[in-house]
Structure formats: C-alpha cells, structure tokens
Amino acid sequence: MIRLLLIILVALLIGTGLALGLQYDLGYIRVSLGHYLVETNFWVGLALFVVLVVLTVVAINLIRRFRQGTGVVAGWIARGNERRARRRTTQGLLALAEGNWPRARKLLTSAADKADTPLINYLAAAQAAFESGDHEAVDDLLRQAFESTPGSDLAVGITQAQLQLAGNRLEQALATLIRLRKQSPHHPFVLKLLKNTYLRLEDWRELSRLLPELRKRDVLPETEFHELEREVWHNLLEQAAEECERARKADPEAALEPLTRLWDELPGFLRRDEYTIRDYARLMAKLGDEAQAETLLRKVLRNHWSDELINLYGRIKGQKTDEQLLLAEQWLKDRPNNPELLLALGRLSLRNELWGKAREYFETSLRLRRSREALAELSRLNAHMGEEELSIKLMMQGLAQDNGLPELPMPRA
C-alpha cells in the first residue's frame, strides 16, 4: 500500500513538473540528416526519446525471451531423444538376449548416437552382427565403438578378440591379442585369451613362454595351471621326439640331442613328475636308447614308486636283462601283491627266456586284478607253449571283459 502511494506521489510530481515546464518554455529541437530535416519542440522530442528508449528495452526483452524459449524447446527435444535412445537400447539388449540378432542390431545402432553410453550399443550390436554371420559389419561396428568413446581401445580390442576366437579366426585373434598385450602386458584377461588362442593353435613353444606370466598373475587356479603346464611340456616332448626322428637320418649319433636338451629345460617339479618321466623314458626307448630309459626309470623307482613307471619298466630292455629282472624281484619283496609289478616281472622273465616263471607271474597278476594286458600276455605265452585251447579261452575272456558282455547261457561244445 505504501509503495503504491509512493508511486502515485512520484507520478504527480513528475506530471506537475512537466506542466510547469510546458508553461514556462516549449523549447526547440532541430535535427538535420542528409536531405532530411526534423524540427520539433523540446518536450515533444523528449517524449519521442522516452518512447524510443521504452521500445528498445521492450524489443531487447522480447529477443531475450525468444532465445530462452528456443533453448527450452531444444532441451525438451534433446531430452526426448535421450529417452527414446534409452528405450531403444533397452529393447535392443532384450532382443540380443532373446537371440533376435537383426532386431537387436537395428535398435542398438539406431540409438547409439543419442545414447548415454554409445560404446555399449556398438559392442552389443557387433555381437549381434557376429551371431548373424556378418563379419564385415562386426569390424565396422567395432571401429565405430572405438571412435565413439576415447580410451576404449582395450575394451574394444578384447571384444574383437573374443569374437574372432568364437568365429575360429585364430590368426586374426592372435594378432589382436599380441597388440593388446603390448598395450597392457599384465592384463589377466588378455593373458587368458592369449593362452586359449595358443592352445587352439597348438603353439606349445609360445605357450611355454607364456606360462611364467600366467603363474605370476594368478590367471588360472593352481590345479588347472599344473594340468596346462604338464600338457604343454608333454606336447613339446612329442615334438622334440619328432625332430629327433628327422635328425636321425642326417646324424644318428646326435638323434637324441633335441629331446635331451628339452628335458634340461623342463621345470624342476616336472622332472620329478611320474607322468612326465614316463613320457620322456617312453620316447627315448622309442628312439632306440632303451638302456638310458631303463637307467632313468631304475633311479626314479628306487626312491619313488609308481605303477605307471613299473609298467613301462617291464616293457623296456636294459643293457643287462638278468640284472633288470633281479632288481625287480627285490622290489617284489616290499610289494608282493602289486599286479603291475607282477606283470612287469612276467615280461622281464620272457626277456630272459624263463617261460615257466613268466607264466606264474602273469597268472598271479591276473588273480590279483584281471587286466587286459595280463590276459593278452598270458594268452600269447600259452599259444607259443603249445596250449592253444587255453590261449583261446583267455582271449575270449579278454574280449568279453573289454566289451562288457553279460553272463549268459551258452551251448556246450
């Protein structure tokens, strides 16, 4: 109320002042611009000036409000685009989960430009394109994913390698992973994918070089790592034996050198592993050096008993087969009921042409455990000793056992 009274008072004062001014002197204003001339009294000119100022202020306010209104409209449109992009992204991811690859790819790519996270859209669309079998589109979408988000090269590269592996594009996957490893040498998932790639390529040498890093970064559980390590060196031993076979043609004396050199490279725990020792001794015997294989097995068996190794020991011919038999019979004193040792003793008895003793060992082994090997050995021995009927009977028992035949009535001969 007081403010209104003050406004009325000020207006009256201004009006009174203007009336007195008009009565006192009208004044004179003359403005010349080129060929134009404007003449008026002072009060009219003042009024025009005030009107011009008011119109200018009003125009400025209108322009400002129009701009603000345009920004509001633009923001409303942008928010609408974002909502649609989020909705399409959600629908695209659902289609991807449902296996509707074309729909998923269409929705995800159409929403990528306006999406909050375009990287996810492009990566998911690349997955959909891969499932559709369009590998060219996969590469293009991965390129767009990389360009859409700075610093996404590792994520895009890992996705690319996974899709290449899934598509059995092993050489391309290897190239991608080697590039990623240069960028992130210790990244666990990159190392794991690289391990899988080398496994599928059967590149055992490169995989053996990767093993220390896999152990250091705890990429695999300990049990799985040891199994992988054993598999890698087993295959490397096989490859070395093949190299020895090729080298034998050129230099028979140096035929075992690749195999023995690799044995020296093996980690210490593998040179104490019975399965690795078995593989190494078997390969040496296969390459013609049974004496060295027998020496290795004898040393190991003295300190560490293994049914796997004693089985192989019975198959190998040492330098002195009689001493080999005597040593195995000494082991029998501590293990009188070991069927593998008895089988090996039967074979060693055959090497020493002790036919009766060999048969006793085979029969004792069979009484303790019916194995195919013992049945076959005893059947073969009986056949050569003139007992064909007994040999055939044992062979039939072996066949029945191997094929899991049930007990059924049979006609009498």
Q: List, for residues 175-208, the tens digit of each pLDDT value.
A: 999 999 999 999 999 999 999 999 999 999 999 9
Give residue 81's pLDDT: 64
Give residue 27's pLDDT: 59
User: How far apart, in whole angstroms, are the C-alpha atoms of residue 124 and residue 137?
Assistant: 12
Closest C-alpha to 276, from 349, 206, 227, 220: 227
Q: Which CATH class, in words, describes the domain spanning 83-150? A: mainly alpha
39 DSSP β-pair partners: 30
Instruction: Report the CATH superfamily, name and number, of domain 342-403.
Output: Tetratricopeptide repeat domain (1.25.40.10)
Element (H, E) at 120: helix 118-131
pLDDT tier at 277, thresholds 50, 70, 90: very high
Indicate if the pLDDT at residue 232 is higher than 90: yes
Indicate if the pLDDT at residue 316 is higher than 60: yes
Give residue 221's pLDDT: 94
**Beta carbons of 314 and 344 less than 8 angstroms apart:** yes
List Cβ neighbours of 352 (8 Å cut-off, separation of 6 or more). 321, 322, 325
Give residue 7's pLDDT: 67
Mean pLDDT of the region 23-30: 58
Mean pLDDT of the region 235-244: 92
**Lowest pLDDT segment from 128-137, 290-299, 307-316:** 128-137
Mean pLDDT of the region 241-269: 82
pLDDT tier at 112, thresholds 50, 70, 90: confident
Give residue 219's pLDDT: 92
User: How far apart, in whole angstroms, are the C-alpha atoms of residue 220 and residue 235?
Assistant: 20
Intra-chain end-to-end CA distance of the chain, in Å: 134
User: How far apart, in whole angstroms, are the C-alpha atoms of residue 312 and residue 324?
Assistant: 13
Give residue 229's pLDDT: 93
Where are the chain's structural domains?
83-150, 342-403
Indicate if the pLDDT at residue 253 is higher than 70: no
User: How far apart, in whole angstroms, are the C-alpha atoms of residue 220 and residue 139?
Assistant: 30
Q: List, for residues 39-82, the tens digit of each pLDDT value.
A: 666 656 666 666 777 778 778 877 776 665 555 444 555 566 67
pLDDT tier at 269, thresholds 50, 70, 90: confident
User: How far apart, in whole angstroms, are the C-alpha atoms of residue 64 and residue 203?
Assistant: 71
Letter string b/e over residues 236-257, b meaning 16 or more CB atoms within 10 A of that residue's CB: bbebbbebbeebeeeeeeebbe
* Domains 83-150 and 342-403 in one fold: yes
Letter string b/e over residues 81-119, b meaning 16 or more CB atoms within 10 A of that residue's CB: eeeebeebbebbbebbeeebbebbbbbbbbbbebbeebb
State the pTM of this model. Answer: 0.70
User: How far apart, in whole angstroms, are the C-alpha atoms of residue 333 and residue 337?
Assistant: 9
Q: List, for residues 334-350, the tens digit of each pLDDT value.
A: 999 999 999 999 999 99
pLDDT tier at 4, thresholds 50, 70, 90: low
